[in-house]
Amino acid sequence: MIFSQIFDMVNVGIVILDKDYNVFKWNRWLEARSKIPSEKIIGKSIFEFFPELNKSWFHRSFKTVMSFGNFSFFSQKLHSYFFPFKASNALDSKFEYMQQSCTMGPIRDKNNAIEYVYIMVQDVTEIAAYEQKLVELNTEDGLTGIYNRRYLEKKIEEEFARHQRYARPFSVVMADIDFFKKINDTYGHQCGDFVLQEFTKTISASIRKVDIFARYGGEEFCLLLPETPGKAAELVAENLRDIVEKSSYRYGDTDIRFTVSLGISELSDGVESAKELLTRADMALYKAKKSGRNKVVLH
pLDDT tens-digit map of 43-92: 999 999 999 999 999 999 999 999 999 999 998 888 889 999 998 765 56
Q: Does residue 219 carry a catalytic annotation?
A: yes
Specify the pLDDT at position 3: 67
Specify the pLDDT at position 101: 95
Bridge partners (DSSP) listed for residue 25: 16
Specify the pLDDT at position 34: 95
Instruction: Kindly report the length of the chain.
Output: 299
Q: List for the chain the helix, strand, coil content (%; round to 5).
A: 45, 25, 30
Catalytic residue among 219, 220, 234, 245: 219
Asked whether residue 33 falls in the same domain as residue 105, the answer is yes
Report, as ranges of residue numbers, the positions in the chain whose pLDDT lies below 70.
1-3, 89-93
What is the DSSP-derived secondary structure letter of residue 165? H
Number of C-beta neighbours around residue 224 at 10 A:
22
Q: Which of 103, 131, 159 is the last residue of a domain?
A: 131
Query: What pLDDT digit, counting tens, does each position of 132-157 carry?
Result: 788 777 899 989 999 999 999 999 99
The number of folded domains in the chain is 2
Interior angle at CA 166, CA 233 and CA 285, nearest 5: 25
Per DSSP, helices labelled H in the chain are 2-9, 28-34, 38-41, 46-49, 56-68, 76-79, 125-139, 149-166, 180-187, 189-204, 230-246, 274-290
Asked whether residue 112 falls in the same domain as residue 259, the answer is no
Supply the CATH number for residue 209's domain.
Answer: 3.30.70.270
- Provide φ and ψ at 211, rounded to 5°: -75, 150
Cα separation of 177 and 198, whole Å? Answer: 12
Specify the pLDDT at position 238: 98
Asked whether residue 120 falls in the same domain as residue 8, the answer is yes
Asked whether residue 165 falls in the same domain as residue 292, the answer is yes
Per DSSP, helices labelled H in 73-121 are 76-79
Specify the pLDDT at position 93: 67
Cα 40 to Cα 37, 43, 57, 164, 212: the distances in Å are 5, 8, 26, 61, 50
Sign of CA dihedral 232, 235, 240, 241: positive
Q: Which domain holds residue 97?
A: 2-131
Asked whether residue 148 falls in the same domain as residue 55, the answer is no
